[in-house]
C-alpha cells in the first residue's frame, strides 16, 4: 500500500465531498447541510449517535462515499450520520465506526474522513476511543480527557503527514504543542461537573500503539516509563490531521481495561498467579464501553451544545 499522490488524493476527497453535498441537497433548509463538528466514535462508543435528534438526519454508509474505506472491526458499524445535537441544534457529523492502521489501511486512508470533514467546513473534531489504563491510578470505566499524546509509530516514521505536504490544508512542519484545545477540555470538565457525573474523569497522555495486539507486560512498563497514562490503537493520526487542517480538537479515552505491567510469574514458583490474570480482551473493551457510554453521551450533549 503506497501513498496516493497529492493531486489524486485531493481529487478523491473532492469527489467524496461532492457526493456528500449531493446527498445533503434535500436537507438544504436544515442545519445539517453545514456541519460544524465531526464526532469520531471509538470501540463500543457508537451509542453516542443516539444523542443526535431523530430529525433532520441523514445516514450514509461508508461504502456509498467514493474513496472512503469500510470498517472491518466488530463494534464499528461504518456509517456517517448527519444530524443535530442539543437545544442549540448544533449540526454534526457522527462517524460510527473508525478506520485503523492495523486493519491494513494507510494513514491517508484512515484520516480521509477528517480531511473530508474539513472540506465540508467542519470546525471542531471530537474524538473518542477505548484505551488501556497504564497509569496505575486509572480503573476500568474511568474517563481520561486527552491533554497530550505520544505518537510512537510516528516517531519511527509511520506518520500521517509523511510524504508531500498537502498545502491546501496546512504547513509542512505542523506544531503539536497546542494539539488539544484547553477551552474544549475545560468545557467538557465543567459540563461533567454541572451534570453531577460521578465516574472518575482524569486528564493525561494518550500513547498511540499501532496494534493490533494488546501490549505485553514489558511494553506496558515501557509506556508507563515514557509518560503514557493510557494506550490505544487510534486517535493520534486523526488528531494530527485535524490540527494540520486547522480544526480544534477534543479527545476522550474511556479506560476499558487495566494494562498488565507486572512481571510474569517466575518459572521458579510452584503455584503462581495465573498468567492470564487481568489479560485484555476485545469483549471486555466493548462491555466496559457500553456501560460508560451513557455518561459520555450526556457530557457530549452538553459540551457540543455550546459549540
Ligand atoms: N491496549 C491498546 N488498545 C486498547 C486497549 C489496550 O489495553 N484497550 C482498549 N484499546
pLDDT in tens, 244-296: 999 999 999 999 899 899 999 888 988 878 888 877 777 777 777 777 888 99
Ligand 1 pocket: which of 101, 132, 210, 230 to mutate (most atoms <8 Å of CB)? 132
Ligand 1 touching residue 228 (CB < 6 A): no
Residue 245 labelled as part of a binding site:
no
C-alpha cell at 74: 466488530
Residues 167, 169, 174: CA angle, nearest 5 degrees: 85
C-alpha cell at 110: 484512515
Residue 257 labelled as part of a binding site:
yes
Residue 76 labelled as part of a binding site:
yes
Question: What separation in Å is there between the alpha carbon of 202 and the centre of ligand 1?
Answer: 17
Peptide bond into 246 cis (omega under 30): no
Q: pTM for the complete prediction?
A: 0.93
DSSP string, 208-233: E---SSPPPHHHHHHHHHHT-SEEES
Q: How confident is the model at residue 3, as a pLDDT?
A: 82
Q: How confident is the model at residue 43, as a pLDDT?
A: 76
Ligand 1 touching residue 223 (CB < 6 A): no
In the chain, where the domains are located = 6-263+277-305
Residue 296, Cβ neighbours under 10 Å: how many?
A: 23
Q: Does residue 11 sit in helix, strand or coil?
A: helix
pLDDT < 50: residue spans in the chain: none
CATH of segment(s) 6-263+277-305: 3.40.50.1580
Q: Are strands 201-208 and 124-133 parallel, antiparallel or unpaired?
A: unpaired
Residue 306, Cβ neighbours under 10 Å: how many?
A: 12
DSSP class of residue 52 equals B
* Catalytic machinery residues: 43, 76, 100, 102-103, 130, 233-234, 257, 282
C-alpha cell at 39: 464526532
Ligand 1 touching residue 17 (CB < 6 A): no
Q: Is 252:143 a contact under the CB 8 Å cutoff?
A: yes
Residue closest by Cα to atom 9 of ligand 1: 131
Q: How confident is the model at residue 75, as a pLDDT?
A: 60
The values of phi and psi at residue 26, to 5°, are -65, -10
Q: Which of 26, 31, 29 is nearest to 60 (CA)?
A: 26
Residue 215 labelled as part of a binding site:
yes
Give the ligand 1 atom nearest the CA of 214.
1
Cα separation, 48 vs 94, whole angstroms: 8
Amino acid at each position: 500500500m503506497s501513498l496516493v499522490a497529492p493531486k489524486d488524493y485531493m481529487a478523491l476527497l473532492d469527489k467524496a465531498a461532492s457526493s456528500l453535498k449531493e446527498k445533503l441537497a434535500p436537507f438544504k433548509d436544515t442545519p445539517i447541510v453545514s456541519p460544524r463538528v465531526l464526532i469520531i466514535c471509538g470501540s463500543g462508543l457508537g451509542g453516542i449517535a443516539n444523542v443526535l435528534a431523530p430529525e433532520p438526519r441523514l445516514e450514509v454508509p461508508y461504502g456509498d462515499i467514493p474513496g472512503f474505506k469500510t470498517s472491518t472491526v466488530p463494534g464499528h458499524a461504518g456509517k456517517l450520520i448527519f444530524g443535530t445535537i442539543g437545544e442549540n441544534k448544533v449540526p454534526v457529523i457522527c462517524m460510527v465506526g473508525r478506520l485503523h492502521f492495523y486493519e491494513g489501511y494507510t494513514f491517508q486512508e484512515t484520516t480521509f474522513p477528517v480531511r473530508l470533514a474539513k472540506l465540508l467546513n467542519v470546525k471542531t473534531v471530537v474524538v473518542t476511543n477505548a484505551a488501556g489504563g497504564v497509569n496505575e491510578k486509572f480503573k476500568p470505566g474511568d474517563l481520561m480527557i486527552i491533554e497530550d499524546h505520544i505518537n510512537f509509530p510516528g516517531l519511527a516514521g509511520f506518520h500521517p503527514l509523511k510524504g508531500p505536504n498537502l498545502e491546501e490544508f496546512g504547513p509542512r512542519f505542523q506544531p503539536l504543542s497546542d494539539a488539544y484545545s484547553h477551552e474544549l477540555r475545560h468545557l467538557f470538565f465543567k459540563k461533567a461537573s454541572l451534570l453531577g457525573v460521578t465516574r472518575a474523569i482524569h486528564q493525561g497522555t494518550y500513547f498511540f500503539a499501532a496494534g493490533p495486539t494488546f501490549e505485553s507486560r514489558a511494553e506496558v512498563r515501557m509506556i508507563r516509563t515514557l509518560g503514557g497514562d493510557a494506550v490505544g490503537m487510534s486517535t493520534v493520526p486523526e488528531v494530527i490531521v485535524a490540527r494540520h487542517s486547522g480544526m480544534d480538537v477534543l479527545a476522550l479515552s474511556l479506560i476499558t481495561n487495566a494494562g498488565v505491567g507486572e512481571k510474569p510469574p517466575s518459572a521458579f514458583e510452584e503455584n503462581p498467579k495465573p498468567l492470564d490474570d487481568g489479560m485484555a480482551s476485545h469483549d471486555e473493551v466493548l462491555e466496559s464501553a457500553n456501560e460508560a457510554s451513557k455518561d459520555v453521551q450526556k457530557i457530549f450533549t452538553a459540551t457540543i451544545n455550546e459549540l
